[in-house]
């Protein structure tokens, strides 16, 4: 019996992979074996770095809030604790945006937090 060959299927698979590796340099986008391993690695890094990006942004927000608090004579940890005690539910992203774009509102938040901390101080 005649052997069945899968030229169309193989060509389709390779074409799909080459489309995914568009923009890779040198042989990494058109040499099949190299393109396959490069794409696997690229997807691994993409998955990992989607998580890392969220961590990086949170760190940046905390640094910004801390800098804004220090300018007003308060530490970051005190500020966050005071927000929790005064039942103000703002996330770090919005707090950093307020600190940058609306300093007057951030001043009021700091005043509220200082008043709350003073009221809850041990006697």
pLDDT band at 122; cut points 50, 70, 90: confident
Question: Between residues 75 and 5, which one has the greater pLDDT?
Answer: 75
Contact 59, 95 (CB under 8 A): no
Instruction: Give the pTM.
Output: 0.76
Domains of the chain and any CATH numbers: 9-119 (1.10.1900.20)
Q: For 13-50, what is each residue's pLDDT tens digit?
A: 999 999 999 999 999 998 999 999 999 999 999 999 99
pLDDT band at 72; cut points 50, 70, 90: very high
Q: Six-digit token pair at 60?
A: 């940046």
pLDDT at position 5 is 80
């Amino acid at each position: 019996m005649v052997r069945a060959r899968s030229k169309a299927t193989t060509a389709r698979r390779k074409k799909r992979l080459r489309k995914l590796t568009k923009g890779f340099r040198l042989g990494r986008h058109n040499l099949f074996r190299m393109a396959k391993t490069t794409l696997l690695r690229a997807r691994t890094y993409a998955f990992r770095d989607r998580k890392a990006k969220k961590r990086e942004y949170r760190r940046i927000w905390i640094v910004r809030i801390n800098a804004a608090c220090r300018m007003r004579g308060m530490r970051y940890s005190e500020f966050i604790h005071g927000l929790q005690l005064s039942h103000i539910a703002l996330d770090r992203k919005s707090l950093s945006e307020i600190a940058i774009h609306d300093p007057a509102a951030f001043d009021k938040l700091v005043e509220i937090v200082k008043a709350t901390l003073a009221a809850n101080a041990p006697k």
